Amino acid sequence: MEERTEISTLGEFGLIDHLTKNNETKNISTLLSVGDDAAVIDHFGRQTVITSDLLLEGIHFDLSYTPLKHLGYKAVIVNLSDIYAMNATPTQIVLNIAFSNRFSLEALDDFYKGVYAACDAYGVDLIGGDTSSSQRGFIISVTAIGEVAPEKYVKRSTAQVNDLICVSGELGGAFLGLTLLEREKKIFAETGAQPDLEGQAHIVGKLLKPEARKDIIEYFSEENIVPSSMIDISDGLSSDLLHICKQSNVGCVLYEDKLPFNDEAKEFAYKLQLDPTACALSGGEDYELLFTVPQSYFEQIKTNPSISIIGYITEAAEGKHIITRGGNKHELIAQGWNHLK
338 in any annotated domain: no
Distance separating alpha carbons of residues 75 and 146, to the nearest angstrom: 16
Give me the pLDDT at residue 111, please: 98
Which structural domain, as residue segments, surrounds residue 254? Answer: 164-331
Q: Tell me, yes or no, whether 185 and 218 share the same domain.
A: yes
CATH number at residue 234: 3.90.650.10
In whole angstroms, what is the distance from residue 337 CA to residue 341 CA? 9
- Tally of CB atoms within 10 A around 218: 12
Higher pLDDT, 294 or 43: 294
pLDDT value of residue 337 = 54
- Whether residue 134 is found in the same domain as residue 181: no
- 6-15 burial, b if ≥16 CB within 10 A, otherwise e? ebeeeeeeeb
**Are 107 and 199 part of one and the same domain?**
no
Beta strand pairing call for 89-99 and 125-133:
parallel
Domain's final residue, options 148, 174, 207: 148
pLDDT, average across residues 307-316: 98
Tell me whether residue 155 is in a domain.
Answer: no
> Using only C-alpha atoms, what is the Rg of the chain?
21
**pLDDT at site 2:** 77
Q: Is residue 65 part of a domain?
A: yes
Query: 180 with 255, same domain?
Result: yes
Exposed/middle/buried for residue 25 (C-beta within 10 Å: 0-12, 13-18, 19+): middle
Averaged pLDDT of the chain: 94
Both 226 and 94 in one domain: the answer is no
Q: What is the band of 188 on the pLDDT scale with cuts at 50, 70, 90?
A: very high
pLDDT, average across residues 176-188: 94
pLDDT in tens, 123-154: 999 999 999 999 989 999 999 999 999 989 99
The last residue of one of the domains, among 84, 118, 148, is 148
Q: Does residue 341 form part of some domain?
A: no
What is residue 13's predicted lDDT score, i.e. its pLDDT? 79
Residues 239 and 144 both lie in one domain:
no
**Euclidean distance between CA atoms 101 and 66, whole angstroms:** 19
**pLDDT confidence of residue 338:** 52
Q: Rounded to a whole number, what is the distance in angstroms from the first to the last CA of the chain?
A: 41
* Same domain assignment for residues 30 and 68: yes
Inform me whether the pLDDT recorded for 339 exceeds 80: no
The last residue of one of the domains, among 148, 175, 196, is 148
Number of structural domains (the chain) is 2
Of the candidates 248, 242, 231, which has an alpha carbon nearest to the alpha carbon of residue 332?
A: 242
Question: Using one digit for the tens of pLDDT, what is the confidence trace for 9-49?
Answer: 988 878 888 988 888 899 999 999 887 778 899 988 999 99
Q: How far is CA 249 from CA 230, 244, 274, in A?
A: 14, 8, 32
* pLDDT at res. 336: 55
pLDDT over 90, % of the chain? 84
Above 60 in pLDDT, residue 340?
no
CB-CB contact of 72 with 103 (8 Å): no
For the stretch 46-98, pLDDT in tens is: 999 999 999 999 999 999 999 999 999 999 999 999 999 999 999 999 999 99
